[in-house]
Amino acid sequence: MNKKIFLVEDDLFLGKLSRKKFELAGLNVQFFDDGLEVASQVKKENPAVIVLDLVMPKKNGFQVLEELKEEISAGKVLIIIVSALNSEEDKQRVAALGVKKYFVKSETQLSEIIEYLKKAIS
């Protein structure tokens, strides 16, 4: 599989672990530790999927989603949320911005996310 996946996670341990597991599963991953550069890189590199955390210090996932609203609605990029946030309000907020899948970190194994990604980009 050579479709690029952007992984955006501010927890460096979790981000590096996730990237390694994604790569071992044959996924092409580019890692970002904050949302600052993501929108501009999406426009340059056209990833198939963005795996996005919502709670990040400099630019959070909600801000990234707002910036990418046009690309999401045009179907240019699939956004998957992987977040510690678990409220219905947060889930509805991101769904209104075009997010199709929401994983809660404490309830999800990396293997589940990998399987979802493989199906999404196949």
Q: Per-residue pLDDT tens for 95-109? A: 999 998 999 999 999
CA distance 30 to 47: 9
Average pLDDT, the chain: 93
Q: What confidence score (pLDDT) does residue 73 get?
A: 82
pTM score: 0.94
Give which of 46, 51, 62 is closest to 117, Cα–Cα: 51
Q: For residue 110, give the CATH number of its domain.
A: 3.40.50.2300
Which tokens in the block code for residue 70? 């046009």
CA distance 106 to 85: 9
Position 47 pLDDT exceeds 90: yes
Position 75 pLDDT exceeds 90: no
Task: Name the residue range of residue 69's domain.
Answer: 4-121
Give which of 69, 40, 34, 72 is closest to 55, Cα–Cα: 34
Position 58 pLDDT exceeds 60: yes
Q: What confidence score (pLDDT) does residue 1 get?
A: 45
Q: What confidence score (pLDDT) does residue 71 get?
A: 87
58 in helix, strand or coil? coil
CA distance 36 to 56: 10
Q: What's the number of domains the chain is made of?
A: 1
Which tokens in the block code for residue 77? 């990029």
What confidence tens digit (pLDDT) does each residue in 83-96 have? Answer: 999 999 999 999 99
